[in-house]
Structure formats: structure tokens, C-alpha cells
Amino acid sequence: MCGIAGIFSSALALEDRKLKLGKMLQAQEHRGPDATQEWHDSQCSLGHNRLSIIDLSTNANQPMPSSCGRYVIVFNGEIYNYLEIKKELLPHFQFQTQSDTEVLLNAYIYWGTDFLHQLNGMFSLAIWDKQEKTLFIARDRFGVKPFYYYADAQQFTFASEIKALWASGIKKIRNQKVWANYLSFGTYGMPNETFWDTIHQLPAGHFAVLSQENLATFEPQLWYDFVARVQDTPVLEVAELKKQYTALLNDAIQLRFRADVPLGMNVSGGLDSSTLIALIHQNLPITKNIEAFTFYCNDINYDELPWVDLLLQDKPYLLNKVVLKADEVPDLITALSQNQDEPFGGFPTLAYSLLFDAAQKKGIKVLLDGQGMDEAWAGYDYYHNQSNQVIQGVTTSPVRPEVMVNDFANLAEKEVYPQPFASSMQNMQYRDLFYTKIPRALRFNDRISMLHGTELREPFLDYRLVELAFAQKDSIKYNQGNTKWLLRQISQELLSNQVALAPKRPLQTPQREWMANELNEYVSEKIQEFGQLDFVDSKKVQQIWQDYRNGNQDNSFYIWQWINLVELV
């Protein structure tokens, strides 16, 4: 887990590229506190911030050249099945390190672009071919690891974080449509977009090959065809599905224990987190120890500590309890807004960041998390109640687009998402996996984990698990009023019925209450600032805020939006 950066340009002088790359690496140095290195030739400059997880020696530092000398790689992520791939490659290569980076590079040399299908992991990468003068770039199936870029006819500049692109001299200009859509619909842009004009993302599951001739015109190509793979996945009877899915669950967990550093896990009292704990307990090698981390807010209406204590009462794992306090929120918002570069997910993300900070202070570099089950097994209420919402547990609109002036509001263009499946439930799951929930959750989590020099692993997003669950009938996912029905059947063999059959509880904090009470003065000041922005109707903002303070508090997402945007301008 690291940070990558690079500049491909024959128009920029070497000294200019070196200067820009140095500033880029400095801007994202929190992603790799263990080493920072650069590599340059006449057209390409590559840089790397390293967080050492596998093969802690300096031999595994990046940028890493191939043994033949033709290729150079920078890579962010982990390839969990690197040992299995290495075994296949051993007859063809002499390995110099124990790293997954060298395996990745040799796999590319041996299989070409098809090597991507061999990988089980999270990654963004760039490989420079010194002979052909081309740059190969790729991103993992679900976009766990980020890849941002700026491209014109003169240069292709990329990095793991947007702030690194700004550091290279690329201007910070609002993407007006994305901002308008955020306020109109609560969306965060399409897979290739960001909140900033001219700064793009390489979409999840895509790759590209760049040459000096196509820097401004290249088209990313899809390498992970999720729809085709799901359509080729058999629909199984319950007994066989339980057998196959359970076996994959255990394998996914075991693969993610591979690390040369201490491990931890983030836990809550929900079904997904509880299943993760049970599987870890079942599969953890006796040679490894693991600690658990959870947050609370000293509010019995939201805190899940009783559930977490129940889950861990018969487990040998030390539980680290991290408290989020109202008076810490303003400073956390400022820090995380600077870290995220784009809007993020409210007070729960603030609390979540405290877990990574606590883990880092204890020397734990890898944390496992339960992200991904709801999208694979259709766990959100809106999959079933026809609400057309994309936020769990609210009854009113989460957005208040009327606060925008007309000219700005007219820039909004409602996103239209593909619907490749006959099942409306599957189409909503597909939207959440590739366009809405998972992309933004992965971005929030990548930034806050890397801010504290820790790596987050999400075993339930193993592509084999997602494909198998997604492909099954709707009735396997929602049955007799129970969401994630088949998963609950599996979990009953691992957990008490009290946990396995409990209804889904949104991961929450007292955000609504704190905004109106403990943080009233702070929020009022931020809303005053929001009202002064050039695209905002300040009178309507103040009317809505007064209505909120008077008790109209079904949800506070729109208040959070205003605060978050003020911190980003």
C-alpha cells in the first residue's frame, strides 16, 4: 500500500519533471512513510511513496526495474495471491525479492495485458516500457486503489491523490456539473470524473496504453467485464451455494492474512462485521495475533459497544475502543477535508479515521474491514421498499437543491446508470458497486487509512465472492422480510441468532443532534460562509438552517454537504 506518481512528457525538460515530481511525492508522502524514490529517463518520470507491508527490505523499494532492464513499475496496493502467481512464473524468471511488486512486473512481461485476470488484489499501477516508449496503466476490478490523472497533448501526469496533481502545477478549478449534481442529487460524479475540472480518474477495472501520440486522446479499455462474468456464473441451489460461498469466504480471509507486519480489524455490531470476526477467529494462523478497533460517541442511541462486547466476549482479541467527541469534530473536518480533496461521508468518516490513527499508534499497519456485503447481497432497505433513495434509513430528501442560484442549478445533469440485468434489484446493486456507494466508500476509506500510514483490506470485496452472491436469485438475497437471507443462513452457523438475525443498523453517529446542539455555533458559522459562495442563495440557506434548528432533523446530509463544500473551496 503506497502512493504512486508520474509524468510522461517529451515536451517537459528533465529538470522540470524532477521538480514537479518531487512536489507531487511530498504532497502525498503520508501514503508511504517508509521510503520515497524517483526514476527518470528522457520522457518518463516515476515516483513512489512506500508503506512496507510485504518484503520489508530496501530491495523491494519502487520504482522497480525489471531484471531485463526494459520495464519500470510503480504500484500501489496488494496482490493477495502473489505466491501462487510466483509459483507459475518461477520456471521463467529469477526473482530478486520476496515482494508482490516483482511478481506483478514479471506477470506483465510474461502474459501481457492478460496478466490482470490472474490477479486477486487491489491495485493501481503504471509500467514504463523503455523500448517502445509507452506507459501501461491499470486499476483493480472495483477501484479499491485510486488513480488520478491530468492529460493534454504535451503531458500525462498521474498520482494517487488529487492534491499531488495540484502540487505539480495543475490548476484547482471546480467541475461545475459535478458540484451541481452533488447538491441536486447527492451524487459524487461518474467513474471517470472528479469534483475538479481537467482531473480525471481511471475507472475501476480499466487499463490503457499511452504513447506520445495519444496522450490527450487515449481511451481507457475495460478489462474486468463484471456483467459477462455474472451472466456466466451459475445460479445454485441453497445447499450448494452455502458450500461454495463458505469455502470462498474462508479462502478470501486467509489470503488477506499475508503480511510481514502486525494485523488488526475494524469492527461494529452489524452482521457483516460480526461475520468477519467469526471468520478471522476460524482462520487466523496460530502464529499471528490480531487486535480489534471500534468507535463510539457516548450516546446509547447510536453506540454499538454492547453488540461488539457481545461478539468478542469469547474471543482472544484485544478490543481498542476509540471515542469521537463533539468538540473534536471541527478540527477533524478541516484535517479530513484537506486529506480527501473531495466531499466525504460525514461524521462516521471522522470517527472511522480515529480507528486508523489508534492502530498506527500501536504499530498496526494492516486492518481488515467488512465493506462490500450489502452491495453483493442487496442489504440496503431501498433495494426492497421502492423508495428510490440511495441513502439507508432516511424518509425525506437528503438534498436541498433549492439553495443553488438558477444558473448553477441548471448545470446539473442527472446521471443515467446502465441497467444490464433483467432484475431491478441487480441493476440497483450494479449501480451501487460501480457508480455510487462502493466507489465513494472506497475513496473515503483509502484516504483516511493512508493518512495514518495504514493499509485497509476488504476481504468481502474479493471478486469471486461478489460475483457469486450477485448472480443468485433475488429471493436468495431478500426472503421472508430478511435482507441478505443466504448470508444470514451461513452466519447462523458462526454466530448467535441474536446477531445473525438482527436487522441492519446504519453505521451512525449523533451527527443530527450535535449539529443542532453542541456544534450549533460552529455549524452556523460554516453555513454563513456557505451562503456567501457565488452559486448559493444565502436567504434560502438560512431559512432551511433555521427550520433544522427548530426540529426538522429527519436527516442532516444536506447540512453536511454545505459544511464540506466550504472546506473545499
DSSP string over 283-341: H--TT--EEEEEEE-S-TTT--HHHHHHHHTTS-PEEEEEE--GGGHHHHHHHHHHHHS
- What is the secondary structure of 472-488 as a DSSP string? S-HHHHEETTEESHHHH
Split at pLDDT 50, 70, 90, the class of 387 is low
Q: Once rounded to an integer, what is the mean pLDDT over residues 410-434?
A: 97
Write down the architecture of domain 2-222 according to CATH: 4-Layer Sandwich (3.60)
H helix intervals, 414-553? 424-434, 437-451, 463-470, 474-477, 485-491, 497-500, 511-516, 520-531, 538-549
Interstrand relation of 2-8 and 35-40 (parallel, antiparallel or unpaired): unpaired
Judge whether 2-222 and 226-400+410-500 match in fold: no
Q: Any idea how long the chain is?
A: 569
Examine the pLDDT at 490 and tell me if it is beyond 80: yes
379 contacts: CB under 8 Å, gap ≥ 6? 272, 373, 483, 484, 504
| Preceding omega of 63 cis (within 30 degrees of 0) | yes
Q: Once rounded to an integer, what is the mean pLDDT over residues 89-118?
A: 97
Active-site annotation holder among 2, 44, 68, 297: 2
Split at pLDDT 50, 70, 90, the class of 268 is confident
Examine the pLDDT at 470 and tell me if it is beyond 70: yes
Q: Which of 189, 172, 562 is nearest to 402 (CA)?
A: 562
Identity at 166, one-letter amino acid code: W
Split at pLDDT 50, 70, 90, the class of 457 is very high
Q: Once rounded to an integer, what is the mean pLDDT over residues 302-314?
A: 87
All cell numbers assigned to 497: 441468532
Examine the pLDDT at 386 and tell me if it is beyond 90: no
Q: What is the 3-state secondary structure (H, E, C) of 72-140?
A: EEEEEEEECCHHHHHHHHCCCCCCCCCCHHHHHHHHHHHHHHHHHHHCCEEEEEEEEECCCCEEEEEEC
d(CA 80, CA 254): 9
Split at pLDDT 50, 70, 90, the class of 499 is low
Examine the pLDDT at 505 and tell me if it is beyond 80: no
Split at pLDDT 50, 70, 90, the class of 384 is confident
d(CA 385, CA 383): 6
All cell numbers assigned to 25: 511525492
d(CA 125, CA 79): 12
Examine the pLDDT at 511 and tell me if it is beyond 60: yes
Examine the pLDDT at 24 and tell me if it is beyond 90: yes
Calculate the average pLDDT of the chain. 93
d(CA 417, CA 190): 9
Other C-beta atoms lying within 10 Å of the C-beta of residue 209: 17
Q: Which of 177, 180, 187 is nearest to 398 (CA)?
A: 187
Identity at 525, one-letter amino acid code: E
What sign does the dihedral 45-46-49-55 (CA atoms) show?
A: negative
d(CA 541, CA 525): 12
Q: Once rounded to an integer, what is the mean pLDDT over residues 335-342?
A: 96
Check if the beta carbon of residue 504 is closer than 8 Å to that of residue 271. yes
Q: Which of 512, 547, 99, 103 is nearest to 326 (CA)?
A: 512
pLDDT at residue 364, rounded to an integer? 95
Split at pLDDT 50, 70, 90, the class of 324 is very high
Examine the pLDDT at 491 and tell me if it is beyond 90: no
Query: So where are the chain's domains?
Result: 2-222, 226-400+410-500, 511-568
Q: Which of 87, 86, 130 is nearest to 105 (CA)?
A: 86
pLDDT at residue 270, rounded to an integer? 80
pLDDT at residue 54, rounded to an integer? 85
Split at pLDDT 50, 70, 90, the class of 85 is very high
Classify residue 49 by its DSSP letter: E
Range of weakest confidence among 61-70, 299-308, 326-335, 341-350: 299-308
pLDDT at residue 442, rounded to an integer? 96
Whether 2 sits among the annotated catalytic residues: the reply is yes
pLDDT at residue 481, rounded to an integer? 83
All cell numbers assigned to 431: 449501480
CA distances from 453 to 31, 60, 449 (A): 6, 18, 6
Q: What percentage of residues in the chain have a pLDDT greater than 70?
A: 96
What is the CATH number that goes with domain 226-400+410-500? 3.40.50.620
Examine the pLDDT at 500 and tell me if it is beyond 60: no
pLDDT at residue 498, rounded to an integer? 55
pLDDT at residue 508, rounded to an integer? 80
Range of weakest confidence among 221-230, 261-270, 409-418, 508-517: 261-270
Examine the pLDDT at 524 and tell me if it is beyond 90: yes
Is 140 annotated to bind a ligand? Reply is no
Split at pLDDT 50, 70, 90, the class of 497 is low
What sign does the dihedral 71-146-40-137 (CA atoms) show?
A: positive
All cell numbers assigned to 195: 469534483
Q: Once rounded to an integer, what is the mean pLDDT over residues 109-118?
A: 98
pLDDT at residue 381, rounded to an integer? 86
**How does pLDDT run across 189-199, given as a tens digit for each residue?**
999 999 999 99
* Prediction pTM value: 0.95
Check if the beta carbon of residue 83 is closer than 8 Å to that of residue 104. no
- What is the secondary structure of 202-266 as a DSSP string? PPTTEEEEE-TTSTTT---EE---HHHHHHTSPP--HHHHHHHHHHHHHHHHHHTT--SS-EEEE
Range of weakest confidence among 64-78, 185-199, 260-274, 323-337: 260-274
pLDDT at residue 255, rounded to an integer? 96
